[in-house]
Each structure stands twice: as structure tokens, then as C-alpha cells.
Structure 1
């Protein structure tokens, strides 16, 4: 049958700027002065359906193209971004209040090609030769789509010594679990010199990122932003390119599983400055980056009314660090958390845990502290520090002793595009507490959720974060999700060559050895509650944990700091079920708990894990098999093209993985380096959890 979608091909290789070794050039400096078009009425008149450049597009000549939406027109304006498409004849709209879980416009298919390669980058003044990159770019190329589009990505693995799989963080993958990109769960790794094609539908809109899910590989460079254009709950004029913030260790993340890095830096928009860490030029330093810069236009679009408002799209893509983002003398209006549009609220800083994203709108009107204007006076030169603070105890960087305040100055906002001076501005008073509870308390989704009662017991199921006190089943294992009523659960580890997707029809004792399976059965209307408890008095946990659930948004129905979860206390469980905060990453408090709830309406196998890369690598993960019978209807054994494709990928992987000639050079038969197997021990290729 012919597809009803029009194919729209985008070549990302030539549409993205490489952030390379010369930091003093213009590669990372953006001026957004009227670049983005809004309404192409002439295109509508010619084609009879909406074709328009969305506000905030970052790929040249990118347009939203709704070929099947005859009679609809784009309806957003800078003063009202809440409307997306409107049919002037029927009055039907797709807007900020549309329930995007049940309704979305019909877009086109966009095709991207990603080459995964070994490479070199200089992100901060030190050369890094063990990078793994998308299309030889750092950060990787932006994937851009419009609400309702189908996105097709061809991933070609050209790495020499690693498999890979690519996860589309926060994309719900409704009934497309096999496209979630988690090796050992939804697929085998894509072997070197082979490829895999991912396809998913943009049912949500907003900002996220895509990254490798092959162990800690993403922290070596395999990460990049995703933008899905759609409505917004607050007016703005222009949008800044998505801004990533990450920690950077200047050596491979695969080494950092075994030891802490000694020169960790902060990269904003892919750029950092190692001099700020060391206080002086380091050995082997090449060109030193100046820093990430953005420019605001201080000319008002309408001098009678107001200054310009800019949309900033923030993404934490770190290995280990939770950041607090602020801009001196500028307030934020927060309008989106993860992929969830929220009722606008104001802040001077925002805490972003690993994997979390925020949309914030910043007006080009600097302000001072209303209660003490002398604390942060306005500068004469129009230059302001952008700061990425490390939350207390939430990152290896937080152990740094030195010029702490300067270390957090990672970018500059300028009103004069000819200025090269460093700002002299003072920071807002920022709480460095590593907790997102205060922010989640302010999050009110625009599309309300009424959460049902738990279907898995009176209060749901409890999982404790357990730190192992003795050796685990593999070299780096030291974490697990522990059920209070069972000691069977051990640190999670995937089976790269035998993913769960190929075991959907298993029953009883057919599960592979070592799997602990807790069978449960729900309907698409049921709600499952998970009580995640990090206040384990026997084995105190290592700091807060950013917990990410694949395949779902979840409601945060309760979140408590410094409180021991006691299920026997009748006053302990106090769920907020009336439009609670909704997102896909929650920062589990260091000494507290969070209760999350999700609706079991997406059959398949979904990973839940800590997004601190070496915590997931150390076993802090679990799988949720959701409605197994329904999953077997969607992917019937012996009669599923998706399962057939998975078998093909696994055949290539197993052929490559168990051939010892494919290991790192110099390790064939090597018994002196315990981190790599010899030919006689080839089965032990995997030395961590795999996720």
C-alpha cells in the first residue's frame, strides 16, 4: 500500500556547523536578528495546505509541511504561540491544549543519515583522540521535525571497536518499542560496518536529545539535540539554537568507569575552557576556547510596547553532573519541562538533572535585584555571564577546589555584537541544593492529567537504591534496584546478543538464566505506581539519582527530601493525583523518595535507569515488561518484520562480537590488561551492565 506521507529528505551533513579547535572564530556565536520566518501564506495559497518556517528553526530552508492538512493554516504569532494549526472553515485547531497523546496533525517523513565514527575533537583546549561522533561533528547534528512528522534515521556504524545503538530520549515510541534504541533490550548493538534504520513519530513537541545507549559511549561524543516544533504556552519573538550543557573529562568515559577523571570541565553548547579549571595553561593545551556566546538584540520590535523575548532550549547531556543554569540580571519564564508544555512560571535559575530539558523565555531587559539593587548592578557594556553551577554533591566536578565562581562562568550573553570583553556582572543568589522538588512543585502541565489509583497494590511497589557491599556479578557492578520483599534482584546487566525483544513470548521457566522476572498483568487503563526510595539506612546511597523511564511520561505524585519511606505509616503516602508534575526524568533525592505513576498504555519492554552514566553501567537499571500478551499481538513471533530485522541485526552483532580479532589493537591474546579479553576468553567482551 502506498504511504500517505510525503517524503522530505534532509541532509544533515551540510546543515550543521562543526565546533572545532579554533574557538576564537565565530563558529559558536549566534545572532538571531529576524532569521526565522513564521507564516508563509503565499505557500498556503499555492498548495492548499500549510507550509511554513516554524519559529526557532535552525536548519536552512527547513519548513513544516502538512500535505494532508487541507484547509488548515498556521495560526501562531509572536504574541500568541499557543496556536499551531487552524481550519478557518471548521474552526478545528491543533494548539497548546490539544491532548497530544490522542490527537496530532499529520506531517511528512523526514529522513536523516548518521555516520557513527571514531574521531578527534578539541572542545576546551585539550585534544581528545578517543571521541566517537555523529557525522564527525561535536555536538552531533541537530535532528529537526514538526509536530506529527515521521522521522526516519539511518544509522551507519563505522566505529572500529564498538557496537552502538541510538536512543531518542523522551520520544514516547507508542507501540514502536523496537525503535527505542537500547541494546540488549530492544535490539542487539549495531555491529561495525553495518547499519540500522530507526523510525518514530513525533507525537510530542519540544526539545530533547539523542545519544548512544551502548554502555557509557555517549559521554565520548555520541550525543546531539532534537527539536520538534510545536506550540508554546507563552509569547516569544525568536529562538536560540538548542543549548546543551555537559561535563567533560578529556579522556574516554570507558576509563572513567574505573577511575575518577582529574581534569573535568563544563561544556556549554559543546564548548569549554580548560584554563578555567586549572587556573593556568595546562600541559598539552592547544588553542583555548573563549567560551559560548549568544547575542540579544536590544532594539525593540515595537518601541511602544516591549523588548524582544527569546526562547532558550536547555538540555543536560552530562555523564555525571546536575547543573543549575542562570544568566546574570535576567529572569526566566519557564514554559516546558522535558516534552511537557507547562503553565508559565518565573525563576532566576533552573536546576537541570541529567536527561532533563527546559524551555525558558528570556526578555531582553536586564534587571537588578529588587530588594537590593546594589547586589547586581547593570553593566555599561551590555555583557552578562551565563553560569552553569554544579549542584552540591551532584557531580565529580563538585569536589573541585579552586576559583569556584569563575569555573561556573561558561558563556556570555552580549547586547553588542562587536564587544569581546569579559562581563563584570554579579550572579543572582542561587541555591545549589541538588533537588528538583522545588521546581517540580511549580510544574503544572497545560494538558491536565487525572491520575488513577494504583493497580499494583494500595501504594504501588517499592524499590530501594541498594549499594552493594560485596563483589557483584561483573567488574563494575555496585548498584541495584532492590525490592524489599526479595533479595533475588542483583545489579542489572543486559545480554547484548539476546535482547528482551526476542524473548517477548517467553513464559514460566523459559527466561534466560539469571533473569529475575516478576509477572504482572494490567490493562491500558491501569496506573502503575513505583515508590523509589534512596534513604536506605543500611547502605547509604551516593547522592541524588536522575531516574529516567523509557516509553512513557510519568506523573510525580509525591516527592520528599530528607524523609524515610515507611510503608507502615498510614500518613506517609500522600499522592497528588490532580494534574501533578509530568515528565520523563525525576531527580530522586539523596535522602528521600519519589513516587511516580504511569499509565500502562504502551505495550513492550521499557528500561528505567539512573542517567548518571556510570551508575547505569554499574547496574542501577531495571526493565518493565508492559502487557506481554498485547506486545505479542503487535510483534507476533514468526510473523513480524520488526522481529525479523532484529534477528538480522543480532546475527551481525554476534558474528562480530565473538570474533576476538575485532578487539582493540594490541589485545589479541593479551593477559596483561584485564580490561580486555583474550581470544581464549572472547565471551567476556562486556564488562559492565551494557546500558
Structure 2
């Protein structure tokens, strides 16, 4: 009997190794690199009642270079610009931080209900990273939100972090790095979640859904170089160019025959007589809203930030950093080539850099190498006619389409009830204060610097600069005491002195929240797009009051019922702007327990603390920490003697990881491979135990 048991045990061991090897092989085969010629299997027609797929991707994050050796003779031989690993950009030679040596990075295209699995491999030399899935609220999976020190630790160089979450939000979204200036340098890409035709309210309005437009402002230096130059010296913060799907014309290249060439621009091919769904994604990082128009064509906007709206026609639209708009183009004009024009506003306008870009709308029977007639410069990118989402305008302006005027196709929900459960005002502006990060009082304080170019104002929310904790809020929530957080009621004299703390607002789970954003507008004629993690919101109001406005003025108007609200069918978004000298009113339900970042989506502003965190619910209402979830934090030279006993160390590790599970948890936790192997081995051992007794 003993020999038989030994033999059976040996067979079980070999079988488990075989299963492990098989699953490893499956993983490798299913994580291959895909491209236009070999599309990912999850990019498919979505069919009602079909089985969801597990969609695996591998993201290699690394520093790279535009116009690298991979580009060979680009742009003199234009075909070289499309070679593998060639990133031409706008022709400028600069460092980039990219995924899989692509700009934009890999597009994720899945069906509603699929599971997205992304292994992020940090191959950076000197930096950590994270990836945020902008537009996905991560209901039930808050640890996958990708915000350093809020939902996770940064991914260290040489390590891999697996993001796994369901594709449960339909529409056009974007992924991007959420650490430092990495989005600025190219770490971004599209996420498209489609539905079966049966539940697509716009399916009869278009024939093809194949074009995505990712637009971003761009410059000749890395984001960090620009940031340090601006905040510590006399450098500016103005982008010089715009990219469309990573392409653009900016730098001129001289040919031997005396002519000049540019790097390639993007082309979108259409067939006459058909209607196309375009998905516009703004991944800009500076104060550079971008206006888009198409020569000879208008378009119908059908969705914003992944949420469907009643189709509305416009001649042009303005998008801000983080926003997405889906529109339908009717290819009903004379076959030929037409300019698609992108015009930079605010810090990109004619007062500063006149940043613009073009792409080509190419009818299928037209030339694939020629360009539309007429040269384009900044002034010629202006398009008259009805505009959606105009800069610093709201419901007070009659000849535009303001965001609250879009009509959501979603049914009214509890967030639209007359009186919210929780109302909160968030005001902001730039302030002339001694921010010690950039102006040290007594040495080079704000008023001690004589060169105005060396003065930088500090953007704040409710006069508070956000200080991120040293360890993730969500994972280590039991460590944080209420007095470790702050808000405008717990700090004093912040309108005169610099205040920096971990800015957290606690909201009871399930409350209907009304957030009133106030852009006071005293310092600059600026604009700030804001993004809320963890949930979408209804945009129920937006109006510009004047050149500037005070918080008290808005509060008084609210008491007198003078703030305009659409509580019938307002659009649903996750990113929105506020007119300078005005307000925007948001409504949402705080029903997704966790810690959720709310921040300006201009990279420089977010990096210097223009953000805050909303805590939805009590800490016991938040999902448990995943097993083996990586942790981090300060180390302040604790006496080593406290770790002498193995029992104490084991207890410490258990409490630090936030996990306290029964014996069977490890059997059914982990990735797909470990679960199958664990289950096989566990039940085999049980069988062997009873056989050998």
C-alpha cells in the first residue's frame, strides 16, 4: 500500500507540473503582440448572448526616441516612416515614454462584458509607473484604478503589475499613465467597448465604425524638462504643436533638390455614400483645448465620454483634456480630399504658439499621397457656424451648444431628484503665494523675485494643495485616522498662506451629490478640465457669470434659485470644464465604495496639487485588499529587534497586506493558472489521504 501511495503521489506531482506548463503556454500564446494585419481576437463583432472573452494584453513601458534608427530615411522616403518601431511624431527629435514602442499605444477593442487583463511591464530605467483606465469607474475593482498612492503603489522598474477588470462601461475611453509627466511624453491609448447592435441606440445612423482620432498637444522637449524649466526658471508652459494619432507636420526637412518635406499626417479613408462613426479622444496635457472641423462637412455628435446622447449636428467642436466625443460623418460630398483641421486654443492660440495640425479625409477613389487644395496655417483653421462645447461659454450664450444642452439617452435616475443629499462647492484659481516648492520665503519668495517670468502662481482647490500620502489610501485605509486628512473646515488662513495636506472629503455611501465647481477667474483667463474617478456624473448646469466671480456670489445665486439646472435629461460624462468666471453643476450618486481622485486634467496643474479625493462610504464598506497586493510606504529606521520573532513578523505581514482569509482562500485565489493547479493538487491530496489511510 505504501508503494502504491508513493506512486500515486508522484503521478499527481507530474500532472500538476504538466497543467502548469500547459497554462503557461496558453498565456504566452494569448499575450502575443497584435497589429492591423493580425488583430487581437477580442476585436470582433459583438453578438447578443455570446460568451464573454478574456482579453489579454502586454504593455512594455520604456523610454524611447522619435525619429530613431528604426525610421531609417524617414521622411525623405515616406514609407520608412511607417516601419515597425518608427515613431515620427511631428519630426522633432525628442525622447518619448511609450508602450510597445507605439504612439499612441496599443488600442484595446473589446465587447461589453469581456474581461480586460493587462500586464504592465515597467522597463523604464529610472521611473515607476501606473496605468489609469479613464472612463472605467472600476465598480467592484477599485484597486485597478491606477492612481498612485490612492488605489495602488507605483509599479517599480523591472516589475510587472496585472490590471484585471470587466469591460462594463460601453463607449469610447482612454488609458494613460497616471504618474508624473508620462502621459505628456506618450503613454496613452484608446479603449473601445462596443455592444451588440440590439442594444446600440445609434446603430441605424452609421454604416462603419472604424476610425479613432487621438489628439494631443506636443512639444520639442520632454514634459519633465518643460515642467522644471517653467516652475523653477523662466521657461514657458506653451505647447508648440498638435499630434493626430501620433502624426503631424511641424519640422521641415530639406531635400537634395531644394524642396522640403514633412513627416506624414494622418489619413481617414471613407467611401462616398456611407456614414462613418468617428471616435475623438483628447489626451492633451497642457492648457490647450482643441477645436476640430472638417472642410466641406458637418457632423452629428452622438456620444460624449462613452455615454449616448440624442444626435445633434455641429460645424465644429471643442474638446478638453480627457474628454471624448463620438460623431457621425456623412461621406456625401464630391469625391476628393478634404482637410480635417485642429486648432489649439488658450495657451496654444495666436497670442502664444499658434499651434495647429491637419489630417486628411480621403474618399476611397482619391489619391493616397496627394493633399487637399490650399495651404493651411493657424488662421485658416477657424471654422464659422454652430459649435459644441465652446471655450469659456455656457448656457448664457445663445449661438453655441453648451454641454448641459445635450440630451442623454439614459433614463432619468435618482441623481436628478430636486434636492441632493450632499451639496459641496469646489472653487479654484491661481494664487500669488509662497509655495515653498517653487518660492522659498526669505530667499526667492513670490514677491522677492524681480523677473516676472520667474514668478509662478499656485492653482488650488478651496485654497488647498493636495499632498499625496506615502502609502495607498485604499489598501491601508485602516491606518489613516480622521485627523490625517484635511478640508477647508480644518485648516485656517489658507487664503493668505500656503496650505498643503491630504485633501479628502467623506461622503456617505449612496448619497446623491451635487458638486458645484467655481472657476473664480481673477488671475488668468484660463480653463480647467476636471475628471472624476470612480463614477460618471450628470452635467446639469454651466454658465459664465463674468470675467470673474466669487464663491459667495455663486452661493447667493443658488439660494435665490438663479443657478440654471437641467434635471430632466442632462448628459452623463466623467470629464468636464467650467467657464472662467463661472460655474458648472454636477450630479452623481456616491454608490461605488472607495477613494476616488478628482483633479484637473492639465498635467502640470495636477502634478502641483490641483486635486482632492472623495471617500465614498465607510472603510468597512470597501472591497477587501486582493491577496498578495503589493504595498509600499515610508521606512523610518524601526529597531530591528521588533522583528526578531518569526511569529511577530508573520503577524506584521498579515496586517500589512490587509488580508485575513480562511485556509481555502489560497486555493481559489490568484490567477487562472494558479487556481486550476491549486484546485487539482488540493483535491488530489485529499483523495490520496483517504486512499492511504
Report if TM-score (shorter chain) is over 0.5: yes
Specify which of 270, 276, 286 is matched with residue 246 of structure 2: 270
How far apart are the structure 2 equivalents of 1:121 and 1:13?
24
1:116 aligns with 2:61: yes
Residues 175, 604 of structure 1: 8 Å contact kept = no
Specify which of 322, 331, 349 is matched with residue 355 of structure 1: 322
1:233 aligns with 2:252: no
- Tell me the equivalent position of 1:469: 432
- Tell me the equivalent position of 1:670: none
- Tell me the equivalent position of 2:536: 553
Specify which of 527, 541, 555 is matched with residue 544 of structure 1: 527
How far apart are the structure 1 equivalents of 2:242 and 2:45?
38
Specify which of 485, 490, 497 is matched with residue 464 of structure 2: 490
How far apart are the structure 1 equivalents of 2:169 and 2:66?
33
Specify which of 239, 256, 259 is matched with residue 226 of structure 2: 256
Q: Specify the SS of the correspondent of 2:301.
A: strand
- Tell me the equivalent position of 1:499: 472
Residues 264, 397 of structure 1: 8 Å contact kept = no
Alignment of 1:280-359 (within 5 A): 288-298=262-272, 307-320=273-286, 321-359=288-326
- Tell me the equivalent position of 1:303: none
1:342-373 CA-to-partner distances (Å, cap 9, x unmatched) read 1211112222111111111111102xxxxxxx
Alignment of 1:516-535 (within 5 A): 516=502, 520-524=506-510, 526-535=511-520
Question: Which structure dedicates a bigger proportion of its chain to helix?
Answer: 2
Q: Specify the SS of the correspondent of 2:367.
A: coil
How far apart are the structure 2 equivalents of 1:8 and 1:349?
45
Deviation at 1:645, TM superposition (A): 0.6
Specify which of 583, 595, 599 is matched with residue 589 of structure 2: 599
1:147-186 CA-to-partner distances (Å, cap 9, x unmatched) read 0111111101010011101000010101221110011211
- Tell me the equivalent position of 2:686: none
How far apart are the structure 2 equivalents of 1:408 and 1:139?
16
Deviation at 1:515, TM superposition (A): 3.6
1:536-572 CA-to-partner distances (Å, cap 9, x unmatched) read 5xx4345111111011110111110234442123133
How far apart are the structure 1 equivalents of 2:617 and 2:202?
35
- Tell me the equivalent position of 2:554: 566
How far apart are the structure 2 equivalents of 1:555 and 1:8?
40
Deviation at 1:292, TM superposition (A): 1.1
Residues 65, 107 of structure 1: 8 Å contact kept = no
1:320-341 CA-to-partner distances (Å, cap 9, x unmatched) read 2211111111121211111101
Change (3 A) 1:502 1:608: same
Specify which of 362, 385, 388 is matched with residue 413 of structure 1: 362
Deviation at 1:480, TM superposition (A): 4.5
Alignment of 1:12-31 (within 5 A): 14-16=33-35
1:584 aligns with 2:541: no
Residue ranges of structure 1 left out of the alignment (5+ in a row): 1-6, 18-34, 36-57, 67-73, 75-84, 87-104, 299-306, 367-377, 484-488, 656-691
1:486-539 CA-to-partner distances (Å, cap 9, x unmatched) read xxx5211323x4121234223333559964566644232x21111110125xx4
Change (3 A) 1:492 1:519: closer
How far apart are the structure 2 equivalents of 1:456 and 1:398?
45
Q: Specify the SS of the correspondent of 2:475.
A: helix
Deviation at 1:312, TM superposition (A): 0.7
Change (3 A) 1:334 1:533: same
How far apart are the structure 1 equivalents of 2:513 and 2:63?
42
How far apart are the structure 2 equivalents of 1:194 and 1:412?
42
How far apart are the structure 1 equivalents of 2:111 and 2:542?
33
Residues 480, 492 of structure 1: 8 Å contact kept = no
Residues 295, 416 of structure 1: 8 Å contact kept = no
Residues 243, 357 of structure 2: 8 Å contact kept = no
Residues 504, 613 of structure 2: 8 Å contact kept = no
Residues 604, 625 of structure 1: 8 Å contact kept = yes
Q: Specify the SS of the correspondent of 1:548.
A: strand
1:59 aligns with 2:39: yes
Deviation at 1:417, TM superposition (A): 4.1
Deviation at 1:607, TM superposition (A): 0.6
Alignment of 1:339-418 (within 5 A): 339-366=306-333, 382-391=336-345, 393=346, 395-400=347-352, 407-418=356-367
How far apart are the structure 2 equivalents of 1:215 and 1:108?
33
Change (3 A) 1:514 1:318: closer
Specify which of 354, 369, 384 is matched with residue 429 of structure 1: 384
Residue ranges of structure 2 left out of the alignment (5+ in a row): 1-25, 68-87, 375-379, 395-400, 440-455, 487-498, 637-693
Q: Specify the SS of the correspondent of 1:646.
A: coil
Q: Specify the SS of the correspondent of 1:568.
A: helix
Deviation at 1:260, TM superposition (A): 2.4
Residues 383, 415 of structure 1: 8 Å contact kept = no
Change (3 A) 1:567 1:412: same
Residues 444, 580 of structure 1: 8 Å contact kept = yes
TM-score, structure 2 normalization: 0.69
Deviation at 1:319, TM superposition (A): 1.3
- Tell me the equivalent position of 1:446: 409
| RMSD (CA atoms) | 3.3
How far apart are the structure 1 equivalents of 2:314 and 2:371?
25
1:443-481 CA-to-partner distances (Å, cap 9, x unmatched) read 212112331345455xx2111113221122433984444
